[in-house]
């Protein structure tokens, strides 16, 4: 294990991902974690992350100084580097002159005799983001990289295994940054590189077996990637002791319910599929306000789930598909609520369980997908694009009826089908159709039509917080438009959404 000690920087999750990409297991721990707890993890190395503070201020994050006599190699990044310098007798000050303050891409020169830079080019671009400056390097450290403006971009004390870099090797803009992290892990910490998804799968299965014992487990399966992978892991680990409740609210994409059911048919578990379409549609009838739709669906979902849970009776564990970014981010400042993104309005009240089990707590999204593949889930489930919990309800603008849902399902299917055929799916992070509540006049054959307008939405994004509209080739859009208007009764006009986020959001509601 490698510990990524978190000082609040914006790229901390990225550091952890990079370490795991090097086939080394790591965990992110807050800098406040007691040293004894860190020692108990028996790490082969520690990475201090960046952070927004200045080390010389009294209230900025610090560490127990015994961490430096423990004998474990440390790599300090940005704030982490300054913290190490400060703690070991160096001096960090605010950069007085603008040239020592560096932001963005910086040409940097490396001493390739240093283990951190072994085998790498002697110069390259690094990504800087610091306003502080190491005025005095601590005793025992050598300068191992510099830029045109700054003489001490990286420091190293190779006897103690301490390294510090002012730049961010974890971001893509830093050339060979991952190779430097790899060097730290392999050359300095002596990592074996044995973190593979297959090992992880086996370890996770045994861990679940040990925890669950003869107990019963209940899971609400949504059909999304996370809950599907949890279901597969539990199915593999405890089989019949698992009950999966799959609530089909009737607002899924075409064939989705059947696909989810089919994916789990190979395991001998209690798979309960609840066809609740009419219940949900009844509750949603006449509702056109987006947040009301979300609330109704969230609440009704809980009711249905509770009813099924009552039939199962008392269980020992309630399983959840919490993943690592949720764990790390929880507790981070509260941003304004633009949309309530929670599928379920909290935990069900009347489900009788003893403990929550979250077997994906330590995995990033792409690792969850990889685990799903290891567990033999089909690719269409594992690489599924995000789909909102309220489903098509928030893609039917205005009030919802079964006819509209069917129309949208068909059109959305054609859109996805043509995107896949054109090979465009690799370039898109999310794409779907929206049924607007606008009708317009058209002409088909000799007749006049007065039908619905459908909008197509396709975006590229890395974090779904910001997004750009995708430049799908015109001829692909043309084919999609022609097919939808010809094949889906009730739609006579197609628009393509060319707004980015912000100012728009990805979904229309
Ligand atoms: P927006 O529309 O806010 O969407 O740009 C960002 C991402 O979140 C998804 N989304 C939801 N997911 N329940 C969900 O589980 C919701 O109510 C919900 N609303 C939006 C959206 O599909 C996109 O991936």
Mean pLDDT of all residues in 295-320: 93
Q: How many residues does the chain have?
A: 509
Q: Which pLDDT band holds residue 96 (cuts at 50, 70, 90)?
A: low
Cβ-contact 345, 205 below 8 angstroms = no
Give the Å distances, CA to CA, from 6 to 9, 18, 114.
Answer: 7, 15, 25
User: Does the annotation mark 175 as catalytic?
Assistant: no
For 71-74, the CB contacts below 8 A with 24+ separation are 72/43, 72/44, 72/45, 72/46, 72/161, 73/44, 73/45, 73/46, 73/160, 73/161, 73/162, 73/163, 73/184, 73/188, 73/189, 74/45, 74/46, 74/47, 74/48, 74/161, 74/162, 74/163
pLDDT at 98: 60
User: Does the annotation mark 168 as catalytic?
Assistant: yes
For 294-297, the CB contacts below 8 A with 24+ separation are 294/339, 294/340, 294/389, 294/390, 294/393, 294/394, 295/340, 295/345, 297/249, 297/251, 297/389, 297/390, 297/391, 297/393
What is the residue with the minimal CA distance to atom 17 of ligand 1?
A: 341
CA of 172 to the centre of ligand 1 (A): 27
pLDDT digits (tens, 9 = 90+) for 64-84: 999 999 999 999 999 999 999
CA of 186 to the centre of ligand 1 (A): 40
Catalytic residue among 78, 150, 189, 244: 78
CA of 53 to the centre of ligand 1 (A): 32
- Say what percent of the chain tops pLDDT 70: 94
Range with top average pLDDT, 94-98, 344-348, 357-361: 357-361
- Tell which residue, 139, 277, 192, has the closest CA to residue 22: 192
pLDDT at 344: 40
CA of 508 to the centre of ligand 1 (A): 10
243 forms beta bridges with: 218, 270
Rounded to whole angstroms, the maximal C-alpha distance in the chain is: 88
Question: Would you list the DSSP string of 331-393?
Answer: TS-----SS---SSSSS-SS---SEEE-TTTT--HHHHHHHHHHTT--HHHHTPPP--TTGGG
Pocket of ligand 1 (CB under 6 A): 294, 338-339, 341, 343, 386, 388-390, 430, 464, 501, 505-507
pLDDT at 328: 63
End-to-end CA distance of the chain: 43
pLDDT at 351: 76
pLDDT digits (tens, 9 = 90+) for 101-135: 677 889 999 999 999 999 999 999 999 877 787 88
Residue 346 in this model has a pLDDT that exceeds 90: no
pLDDT digits (tens, 9 = 90+) for 385-439: 999 999 999 999 999 999 999 999 999 999 999 999 999 999 999 999 999 999 9
Cβ-contact 4, 28 below 8 angstroms = yes
Q: Identify the DSSP state of 250.
A: S
Residue 480 in this model has a pLDDT that exceeds 90: yes
Domains of the chain: 2-188 (3.40.50.880), 197-382 (3.40.50.620), 401-496 (3.30.300.10)
Q: Give the chain's mean pLDDT.
A: 92
Look up the ipTM and state it: 0.98
Other beta carbons within 10 angstroms of residue 220's beta carbon come to: 25
Catalytic residue among 86, 130, 170, 249: 170
CA of 199 to the centre of ligand 1 (A): 33
pLDDT at 337: 42
Q: Which atom of ligand 1 is closest in space to residue 294's alpha carbon?
A: 17
- Tell which residue, 282, 256, 300, has the closest CA to residue 400: 282
Spell out the residues 6+ positions from residue 371 whose beta carbon is closer than 8 angstroms to its own: 197, 200, 201, 204, 229, 233, 360, 363
Q: Which atom of ligand 1 is closest in space to residue 342's alpha carbon?
A: 13
pLDDT digits (tens, 9 = 90+) for 249-293: 999 999 999 999 999 999 999 999 999 999 999 999 999 999 999
- Tell which residue, 470, 239, 225, has the closest CA to residue 370: 225
Lowest mean pLDDT segment, chosen from 87-96, 289-298, 443-452: 87-96
Residues making up the annotated binding site for ATP are: 222-228
Rounded CA separation 201/241 (Å): 19
pLDDT digits (tens, 9 = 90+) for 149-177: 888 899 999 999 999 999 999 988 899 99
Rounded CA separation 26/422 (Å): 39
Residues making up the annotated binding site are: 222-228
pLDDT digits (tens, 9 = 90+) for 187-209: 999 999 988 899 889 989 999 99
pLDDT at 345: 43
Mutate to test the pocket of ligand 1, among 339, 392, 393, 396 (most ligand atoms within 8 A of CB): 339
Paired tokens of 405: 């849902």
Give the Å distances, CA to CA, from 462 to 126, 320, 430, 446.
Answer: 21, 24, 10, 47
Residue 307 in this model has a pLDDT that exceeds 70: yes
pLDDT at 333: 34
Residue 342 in this model has a pLDDT that exceeds 70: no
Beta pairing, strands 242-248 & 217-221: parallel
Residue 14 in this model has a pLDDT that exceeds 50: yes
- Say what percent of the chain tops pLDDT 90: 79
User: Does the annotation mark 249 as catalytic?
Assistant: no
Other beta carbons within 10 angstroms of residue 279's beta carbon come to: 16
Containing 412, the helix (H) or strand (E) segment is: helix 402-421
The answer to whether the predicted template modeling score (pTM) of the entire model surpasses 0.90 is no
Other beta carbons within 10 angstroms of residue 286's beta carbon come to: 8
């Amino acid at each position: 294990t490698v510990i990524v000690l978190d000082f609040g920087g914006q790229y901390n999750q990225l550091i952890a991902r990079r370490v795991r990409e090097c086939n080394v297991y790591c965990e992110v721990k807050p800098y406040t974690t007691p040293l004894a707890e860190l020692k108990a993890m028996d790490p082969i190395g520690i990475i201090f992350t960046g952070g927004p503070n200045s080390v010389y201020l009294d209230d900025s994050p610090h560490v127990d100084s015994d961490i430096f006599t423990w004998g474990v190699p440390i790599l300090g990044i940005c704030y982490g580097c300054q913290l190490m310098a400060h703690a070991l007798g160096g001096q960090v000050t605010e950069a007085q002159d603008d040239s020592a303050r560096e932001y963005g891409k910086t040409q940097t020169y490396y001493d390739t005799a240093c283990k951190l830079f072994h085998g790498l080019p002697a110069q390259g671009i690094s990504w800087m983001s610091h306003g502080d400056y190491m005025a005095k390097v601590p005793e025992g450290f050598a300068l191992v990289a510099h830029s045109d403006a700054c003489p001490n971009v990286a420091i190293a004390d190779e006897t103690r295994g301490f390294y510090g870099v002012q730049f961010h090797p974890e971001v893509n803009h830093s050339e060979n940054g991952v190779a430097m992290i790899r060097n730290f892990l392999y050359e300095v910490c002596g990592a074996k590189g044995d973190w593979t998804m297959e090992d992880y799968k086996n370890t996770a299965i045994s861990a679940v077996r040990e925890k669950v014992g003869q107990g019963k487990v209940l899971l609400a399966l949504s059909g999304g990637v996370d809950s599907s992978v949890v279901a597969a892991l539990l199915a593999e680990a405890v089989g019949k002791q698992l009950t999966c409740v799959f609530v089909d609210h009737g607002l899924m994409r075409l064939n989705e319910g059947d696909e989810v059911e089919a994916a789990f048919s190979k395991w001998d578990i209690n798979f309960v599929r609840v066809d609740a379409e009419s219940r949900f549609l009844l509750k949603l009838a006449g509702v056109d306000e987006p947040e009301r739709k979300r609330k109704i669906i969230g609440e009704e979902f809980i009711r249905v789930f509770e009813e099924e849970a009552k039939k199962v009776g008392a269980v020992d564990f309630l399983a959840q598909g919490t993943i690592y970014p949720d764990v790390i981010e929880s507790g981070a400042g509260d941003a304004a609520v633009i949309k309530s993104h929670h599928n379920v309005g909290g935990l069900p009240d009347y489900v009788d369980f003893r403990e929550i089990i979250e077997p994906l707590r330590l995995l990033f999204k792409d690792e969850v997908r990889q685990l799903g593949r290891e567990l033999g889930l089909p690719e269409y489930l594992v690489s599924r694009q995000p789909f909102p919990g309220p489903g098509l309800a928030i893609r039917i603008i205005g009030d919802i009826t079964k006819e509209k849902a069917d129309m949208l399902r068909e059109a959305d299917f054609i859109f996805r089908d043509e995107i896949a055929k054109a090979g465009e799916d690799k370039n898109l992070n999310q794409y779907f159709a929206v049924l607007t509540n606008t009708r317009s006049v058209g002409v088909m054959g000799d007749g006049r039509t007065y039908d619905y307008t459908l909008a197509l939405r396709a975006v590229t994004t890395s974090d779904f917080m910001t997004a750009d509209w995708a430049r799908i080739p015109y001829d692909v859009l043309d084919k999609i438009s022609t097919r939808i208007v010809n094949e889906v009764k009730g739609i006579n006009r197609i628009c393509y959404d060319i707004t980015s986020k912000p100012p728009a959001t990805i979904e229309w509601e």
